[in-house]
């Protein structure tokens, strides 16, 4: 139930259950918060799967110290990490965003710590990143060194790192890591509909800087793929998270997955749906992008596939939810408040809409 603009998936699931119970519906109910590769996906997966958290102080996207976290699945030598945990936008105001300075190096240090503990696969949730560094910072956290033409090392937060980069030094003994990358968008990296132009403004990128950012990333990827002895081909999904997948693919084996599909498989959601009479999900605002990788739409499609007899219900604000693959649409009013007041308003709106829709049903 991603209504995360104001409520977490867990909070929304609890509210819906309470509304259904008070409306007089008889269970049993099964609450499964879902995610689709966006901010918090791996944390939610870890909670659902009972994974072990590991904490480490690392630099955030702008170099400030932050407590990062990854989740360990020891039996599979696998770690789950949200890119946004260390390298996200956080609470930084829009007027203070600096996409050319922001780096994913903190996430790289989390990965390095997991690798030192024996992990050989990294599941990385790509949502919510503050940077457009093409994975340059992650690789730096894993031991790669970048030099300018004078042989001087470029630090992770150098605002002109793309323009000054001349040489890449690969670390000795680089582990044979596999990356499973979870995305909720399918944009390529470059072009009018590419991730730089579509998502760059969310990270503070001005429209007048689009071409500058594209030239910088193209130069970085040209050097990286030459060093990795691979050929770069822009692909669907590379536009997520400022091109992280594109940079990692220069040196590692990557599996770029639709985050919702991966999440559903891990929590065995199809089995739960087969046992259900009704599947109810929600999104803060169902829009034209919802059908392209967002969790609620993917869940409704999964339900239609594995249990066509189950009733499918979508809760959302706006009117486009009426076009979703659902049997019923429950409309939420738009939020009028901000901050903590918006959270309270969202909770009240969600409870009221669910209660009124099912009371006496």
Domain harbouring 60, CATH code: 3.90.1510.10
Whether a cis peptide bond, with omega within 30° of 0, leads into 28 is yes
Which tokens go with 106?
């903190």
Residue 268 pLDDT greater than 70, yes or no: yes
pLDDT of 3 over the 60 cut:
no
The verdict on 21 and 68 lying in the same domain is no
Tell me which residue range forms the domain holding 276. Answer: 9-32+268-358
Give the separation between CA 355 and CA 18, rounded to whole angstroms: 9
- Specify the number of domains making up the chain: 2
Sign of CA dihedral 183, 291, 328, 347: positive
The pLDDT of residue 92 is 64
Quick check: helix, strand or coil at residue 183? strand
What pTM does this model have? 0.91
CATH number at residue 299: 3.40.50.10350
Q: Per DSSP, what are the bridge partners of residue 153?
A: 147
Domain end (from 234, 260, 286): 260
Q: Which helix (H) or strand (E) holds 316?
A: strand 311-317
Residues 155-187: pLDDT tens digits?
A: 999 999 999 999 999 999 888 899 999 999 999
pLDDT at 276 over 80: yes
Co-location of 317 and 345 in the same domain: yes
pLDDT one-digit tens code per residue, 63-107: 999 999 999 999 999 999 999 999 998 756 565 789 999 999 999
20 and 76 fall within a common domain: no
């Amino acid at each position: 139930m991603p209504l995360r603009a104001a409520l977490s998936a867990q909070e929304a699931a609890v509210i819906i259950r309470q509304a259904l119970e008070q409306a007089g519906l008889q269970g049993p109910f099964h609450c499964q918060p879902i995610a689709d590769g966006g901010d918090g996906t791996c944390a939610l997966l870890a909670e659902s799967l009972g994974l072990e958290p590991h904490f480490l102080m690392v630099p955030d996207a702008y170099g400030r110290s932050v407590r990062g976290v990854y989740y360990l699945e020891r039996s599979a030598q696998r770690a789950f990490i949200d890119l946004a945990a260390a390298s996200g936008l956080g609470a930084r105001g829009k007027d203070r965003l600096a996409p050319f300075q922001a780096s994913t190096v903190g996430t790289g240090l989390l990965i390095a710590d997991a690798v030192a503990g024996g992990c050989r696969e990294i599941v990385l949730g790509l949502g919510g990143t503050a940077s457009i560094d093409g994975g340059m910072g992650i690789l730096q956290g894993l031991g790669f060194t970048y030099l300018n033409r004078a042989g001087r090392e470029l630090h992770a937060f150098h605002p002109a790192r793309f323009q000054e980069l001349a040489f890449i030094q690969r670390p000795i003994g680089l582990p044979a890591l596999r990356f499973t990358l979870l995305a909720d968008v399918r944009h390529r990296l470059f072009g009018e509909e590419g991730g730089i132009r579509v998502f760059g403004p969310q990270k503070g990128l001005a429209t007048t800087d689009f071409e500058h950012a594209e030239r910088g990333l193209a130069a970085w990827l040209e050097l990286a793929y030459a060093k990795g002895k691979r050929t770069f081909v822009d692909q669907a999904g590379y536009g997520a998270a400022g091109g992280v997948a594109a940079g990692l693919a220069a040196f590692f084996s990557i599996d770029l997955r639709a985050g919702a599909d991966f999440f559903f498989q891990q929590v065995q959601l199809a089995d739960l749906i087969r046992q259900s009479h009704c599947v109810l999900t929600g999104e803060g605002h169902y829009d034209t992008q919802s059908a392209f990788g967002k969790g609620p739409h993917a869940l409704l499609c999964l339900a239609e596939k594995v249990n066509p007899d189950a009733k499918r219900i979508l809760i959302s604000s706006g009117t486009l939810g009426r076009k979703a693959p659902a049997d019923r649409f429950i409309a939420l009013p738009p939020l009028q408040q901000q901050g903590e007041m918006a959270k309270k308003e969202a909770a009240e709106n969600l409870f009221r809409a669910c209660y009124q829709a099912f009371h006496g049903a």
